[in-house]
Amino acid sequence: MAAAAPRDVEPGPPGFEVGAGGVATIRLNRARHMNRLQREDLLLLQQHFERAANDASLRVLVLTGSGRVFSAGFDLTALVQTPDAAASDPQEFERTVDALEALTLPTIARLNGSVYGGATDLALACDFRIGVLGMELRMPAARFGLHYYPGGLRRCVQRLGLGAAKRVFLLGQAIDDASLLQMGYLDELLSPEALDARVTALAATLAANAPMAVQGMKRSLDEIAAGTADAHCMAERVARCAASADLAEGLRAMAQRREPNFQGR
């Protein structure tokens, strides 16, 4: 279950919590600083993603922020203060977001507010993005003279299309909530009061489905979209599901008109 974001918390690193039904939540906890990500936050996020990847009991991962803004992206003051940061820190950010995208379990971005800078890519790496009325997106890389890292450009083109990607990166202007929904950046746009209930329901739906099938199809769909699909690998996933105890349980449950109890085997 996705818990409501605390209104006022002490700034700190991203937290990891496991709720009911195998739903884990990673929360960005620097609300007073618009959840800007520092280098140590990126390293911790990578550890959280690894933990989620290695925990077979987890079915869904929710990524969210505290306060009124989902995240203002990377803390750019480091690029000024550290001589080699302009080269090294974007690479660290790219590794972090790529690790999120590579997770086999389904992911939901619970966008409690606006997304800025690298946070636009962090949310885009999730499978679903549920936003709130009044939020906006702004990617100011061009205004800073920063060429964004290749993985983020690829992800934006792949998921939103070339025209939308050029609008995001080349103009550097704010994009409002309705436009984000229209261009496909958001899957749903809700009032802040409705956000938790919807994310909880979506997570529950994903968690109730057969994890082997969900995770296998997620990987296959991502590979098809990226043009890296391998017919042999997809055939292996199809075969594993066909021989799984979960498929047998799903068919029994359908015949008996009850909810299935999948074990991921």
> What is the domain-level CATH number for residue 174?
3.90.226.10
Residue (of 82, 78, 85, 66) closest to 13 by Cα position: 66
Same domain, 185 and 240: no
Task: Please state, rounded to an integer, the average pLDDT across all residues of the chain.
Answer: 91
Model pLDDT for residues 218-250, shown as the tens digit of each residue: 999 999 998 999 999 999 999 999 999 999 989
Residue 186, pLDDT above cutoff 90 = yes
- 2 assigned to some structural domain: no
Query: What's the total number of domains in the chain?
Result: 2
What would you report as the CA-atom Rg of the chain, rounded to the nearest whole angstrom?
Answer: 19
Same domain, 166 and 226: no
Sign of torsion, CA 93 95 101 103?
negative
What pLDDT is recorded for position 212?
94
Model pLDDT for residues 26-83, shown as the tens digit of each residue: 999 998 999 999 999 999 999 999 999 999 999 999 999 999 999 998 877 765 556 5
**223: buried, middle or exposed (CB in 10 Å: 19+, 13-18, 0-12)?**
middle
Model pLDDT for residues 147-166, shown as the tens digit of each residue: 999 999 999 999 999 999 99
The answer to whether the CB of 194 falls within 8 A of the CB of 246 is: no
Residue (of 112, 111, 152, 107) closest to 127 by Cα position: 107
Q: Work out the pLDDT band at 8, boundaries 50, 70, 90.
A: very low
Residue 84, pLDDT above cutoff 90 = no
Integer Cα distance of 135 and 11 in angstroms: 22
Same domain, 218 and 197: no
